[in-house]
Every structure is written in C-alpha cells, then in structure tokens.
Chains A and B, each alone.
Chain A
Amino acid sequence: MEEAAFSVQPFFLWMQEHPLSQFMLDYTWAQPIVQVMHLVALSIFAGSVLIVDLRLLGVGVVKTPLSKVADEAMPWMIWAIVALAITGIPSLMSLAMKQYFSPFFWWKMELLVLGLIFTFTIRRRITHTDESRLGPVWPKVAGMFSIAVWTGVAIPARLIGLFS
C-alpha cells in the first residue's frame, strides 16, 4: 500500500477490533450463515438486474413495456441490495485487515460503486424514457455496460476469499 496523507487503514483496524468481528470469528456458524445468505441474495440481485438488462438488449421479455419490467424488478433489487449489505458488512468487518490488503477487495468496491451509481442514475433514466425516443442503440449499450460492470464485481468478489 502506498503512503498517503489520508488513509482508511485506521477505519479497517477499527472494524477488525470491533466486538462484532470478534463474535463472527468466535462463533463457528456465524461466517457460513452470513456467506450462504449473501449468496442467495446475490442470486436474487442478479436475476432482478438481468431481467431488465436482457430486456434492454432486446432479447428478454420484449412484449412487456421496458418501464414496467424495470419497476417490477426494482423491489427485488432493493431488498437484495439490503440483504447483501446486511450480510456483507459483518463478513467484511471480521476479515477487515485481510480485505484491506487484498487488491481484489478494492477492485470489487470500485466497480460496486460504479455499478450502483450507474444503475440508479443513467440506467434508471433509460428504463423510464419512451422507447421510441431511445432508438435502437442506447438501450443495448446500457444493458451491455450493466452486465459487464456487475460481472466485474462478481469476479474479484469470489477471488478475495481464494487469495490472501
């Protein structure tokens, strides 16, 4: 890690020493329970994102209006994000120093922030614009970009645990 005037390392140390981290490490079932719930939430999240992305690409449920598909997927996506955060944060805290020194963790977090911003701004705007005004190209670009970013989040996410 480079020396910087501002460092988040004290924050990661604080997380590592937090009682919740100690509980996660002491109680044998804590880590697996959090991991399995994170994965179920991930599947629902992926489904709620993909059903809209495939519709944007013109290969999904094309008979349903785009804004309807997006609106109906939204609650599943929101609840999945909540569940991913509830399970992801204790998981991060208990291994905070490992995560801090893992390049995969930072790769995941950067793309995660990009994915969330894109999803709730540009993508949301596109899914709620009259399709005749969008033309054939932009929805496809948005769908491809969304799939690429979230795949880019999933890859390093799986690798954090494998390389320490």
Chain B
Amino acid sequence: MIQLAWLIPILPLIGFLIIAFGGKKLSKSLVSIIGCGSVLAAFGLSLGIFFQLHGTSQTVKLLDWMHVGRLQIDFSFLIDPLSVLFMLIITGIGFLIHLYSTGYMKEDEKYDRFFAYLNLFVFFMLLLVMGSNYIVMFVGWEGVGLCSYLLIGFWFKNTEYNNAAKKAFIVNRIGDLGFLLGMIAIYFTYNSLNFSNVFSTVSENHLDTGALNLIGILLFIGACGKSAQIPLYTWLPDAMAGPTPVSALIHAATMVTAGVYMIARSSVIFVYAPVAMETVAIVGLITAVFAATIGLFQNDIKKVLAYSTVSQLGYMFLGLGVGAFTGGVFHVMTHAFFKALLFLCAGSVIHAMSGEQDIRKMGGLKKALPITHLTFLIGTIAISGLPPFSGFFSKDEILAHAYEHNKLYWLFGIIASMMTAFYMFRLYYLTFHGPFRGTEDQKHHLHESPKSMTIPLVILAVLAAVGGFFGIPDEHKHLLHDYLKPAFTYASAQINDAPEAFNLQEALLMIFAVIAAAASIFAAWYLYKKKNMVPIANESDLPELQRLVYHKYYVDEFYNAIIRKPMDWISDKGYKFIEIRFIDAIVNGMGTMVKWSGSVVRLAQSGNIGFYMFAMTLAIIVMLLVKLF
C-alpha cells in the first residue's frame, strides 16, 4: 500500500490532464465526476496509508531525477506521519471543496477550466508535502503559487481581479527567493538537499549556529511569502478576488499552510537556530495581532475571513516559534476545518445574495439560510476558541507553550484571540441577525444552497466541532502528539513540545482564555445584536483611528510609495536614457549601416553583362599576378 503512495499525486494530475485536454467536449457532469473522483481516490489511498503507517517513515522512489557530481536528487516521496496528516487534510478537504464547487460554479461558463485548475492545485500541493527533498518540495511550492495565480485571476475579464492575481504572484516570488537562497545555503553547508541526510547531519553536528540561523531565516522568508506573514501578507486579502471555493481551499485550508509545513518539516534546523526560532515566534505574534486589528473594521465578508486567516497563520507561526511543533500543526488541522467551513458558508451567503459581499447590506439571513446559519455559527465558535469546539484545543496548546516561553507572548496571543472572537461574532450578527438591509430583489431571491453545497458544510461543521479531541491537552491523551512524535524525533531531542500533564496552572490559563473570548463575544453581541449597530456607510465619517484601521494601516499605499514608485521612476529614467540613447541607438545604427553599405555595393550590380565580364577578367589577372609574384 505504502509503495503505491506515488499514485496519490498522480491521480489529480491525470484528472487535470483529462479535463484540460478534453475541455469543452466533456459534459459538466463528467467534469465533476473526474474532478471530484480523482481527489476522492487520492483521499482513499491516503487513508489506507494512514492506517498502515504505524509511525514509520518510508521513502517511495519514483525515478532518478538529477545526478550531477555530488548532487543527488531523486523524484521520491517521504511518507511519514507529518506528510500523511497533510495529505489527509489536502485530499479530504480538497474533495469536499470540489464537491461544493460543483454547486457553486454551476452557472460558470469556464466550469471545466475551474476543475482543471483545482485538480492541478491538488497535485502540486501533494507534491509539496510529499517530496522527500527540498527540490521536490520547491517544485510543488512553485506549482501551487502558479495555481493560486490562475485561480485568483479566474474571472480575468475584471482588471482588478487580474491585478490581485499578479500581486499574489509577485509577492510570493519575493518569499520564494528566500526559500531558494535557503536551499542553496543548506546545500553548501550540508552537501545534500534530502530531508533525511540534512536532518541527521544537523542533529549530529550543529555547532555552526550562524549558518543554521541564516538557513532558518531564509527558509522563514519563504514561509512568510506563502503563508502571508508580515511583511509579505498583503497579497492574501486581495486574493479573495478568486471564486470562494478557491479562497476556502487555497487561501485558507491548504496552500497558505505550506509555510507552516515547511518549518515543521525543517524543525531540526530551527531548534538549533535560536535566532531564527525567535524571529518566527515574533513575526507570527505581530502578524496575529496586527491582522486581527484590521479584521475588526472590515465590511466585506470575505475580507474579514481573509484577515482572520492571516491572523490565525500568525498563531501557527507563534506556535512553531515557541517550540510547539505539534501545536502549530494541530492548529493547521483545526484551522483547515473551521476556516474552510467559514469560507464555504460565506460562499453560500454570497450565492444567496446574488454576489453581494458587503455585510452592511446583509442581515437577518438566519431564516432563509438555516443550514448555512448553523454551520457558520459552529465555525465562528470554533475559531473564537470556546470549548469544546476544535479551535479551543489547538489555540490553547499554542498559548500554553507561549506562556512557558515568554509571558508577554501569551498576553498578546490572548489579545489577538479576543479580537478574533469579536470580529467573527460581529460578522456573524451582522450577516445572520437583525433586519435585512439589502434590496427587495435580493430579498425575494434569498434561498438555501443546493445539497452539493450544504453537504460539505455539514461535514466540515462536524469536523470543526469535534476536531479538537485529537489533541486533548494532556500528555497521555494527546492523540495527535503521539501520532506525530516520529516526525519530530530529532527536534524533540532539543525542545520539548509535548503537552504536559494537566495541571492547575494550565487550567487557569484555559479559563482565562475562555473568559476573555466570552467577554469579547458579549461585546459583539451587545453592539451588533442588542443595539443593532451597523457599520457607518460613509467612510469619511469614521473616527480618525478607525479610519486608519479601515484602510488597513495604509500598508498597501506605503509599499506603493517605497517600492513601486521608485521602481517606476527607475524604469522611466532607464527608458528615457538607457533604452532610447543607447540600446535603441545601437539597434537602429546596425540597420542604418546595413542599408548604407547595401546602397554603395548596389552600384556595382549595374546589370551590364559586359562590365561583369570585364570585372571577372580583371580579377583573374590580378589573382594570376599575385600568384606569380
């Protein structure tokens, strides 16, 4: 079974090829069957491997790839608990979102292309988590970036969406450069890019902290790009231009967690690189708080979720940075459940509202969309961290480790968590409670989504509700920790990421976190349910500070001013001076020279045969004379 692991990424690839080349010839139902079926088959295989793995770590070699000098790169897959967990998340949630898309994208004329891209994405994402060396991982890494670009700009007739796609692609390139440099640094330090070789070498010989810190920070820059951390997070909120299932799959559940996976995979490097580790924690924490504050005042249903994704990703990095590798991965898992759920619910709402995304124009959708309402509520509670829903357990584990590491980190973590609870319930109340604020047309149009969309919602809601029980905070009951232990063997020799025995201190921390979340939920309830407050429509009426937050701290404008404007200036000057004065001059000069010499030589070609023969004879005589003397 495990030897068949190579089939898992190949199946969605085959699906992609059939749909992409079959194109319009295939009927919509056939496209749905191939698209969903290939991912479901991959999920089945992953599940089979999951039950046969028994905590071992195996390499499945598909083919030799590059053997150049000392560099040995195989196209092979590493099957260990960590990669199998991600494979399950990717194929499982991927399948649900494929299923959802069959309903959501029904009316779209590019239905087949959408499924082709989704399948291609699943293929690359699986490559990313399954690769047994950094190169295969990098191929997947770039591939998901490409698919993300294609899917954000899926409705490419809209220029704004296209710009969002380009922004995502370019910002990701910055991070990718960091990852690439990190790989080069690893190769020059350890002469290998295979996970097993690098990690065993690092765990034996880790005296060169400088090199390890450098590698760690470079890898983290890569993770920052893909996982939307400060300062490279600006692309993710804009990426909401894509269809909602894409936001759920790529920009919430899977692709953006690639950075977390990469750092968890490289945990050995990070545990011996204290500076890099601290950087991860601090950047994660700042991102968590910063993005949460922006989320407080956004009025677009998907933008709120996008900032909450950035904030939750920050949480995951905080977890990794303070050494809670299991906690970080645990949060990836629970976040995949509840955030995919929330996005799909948002999609259902947008579907019912005929494309409206502004929560100021919603309200009172509870009656019209009962299933969506209930599942959204479950997702909201889960992300807010109320027990016994999944978000509570994973967040608590991260916060507990943060508390041990540095109490200040814990405090800011709680603040971010409070803000999360507040804006999520604000979103919930504004969308589902109070009077309906849309147009009459929309009111008549309101309807619950079809079965193909509500079934994934219900399944995800169940997972979001009970997913936390995989990681009960006690050293003996934490299933996920036991399961992942083999993947972090090297790392746990240095840093203990195990949950401790349940004790009073941890219980107090938990109670405090829950009270904090409950308090902010109450605040949201009071403002948006009891007083029926609606965000001000005219943004110039906003108070100063709120307007700053509403405009996302003007970070986009700031980047424009410090990066784009100077670039434009340099390009403009380069065009006017170097391009026109030098490059154009050289190219045009060549042309002019050829024309001129042609016009001179042309005179000899008079068409007079007598002259030709005279010239020929003269030339022969000259040659003769040269030969003789």
Please say whether chains A and B are actual partners in one complex: no
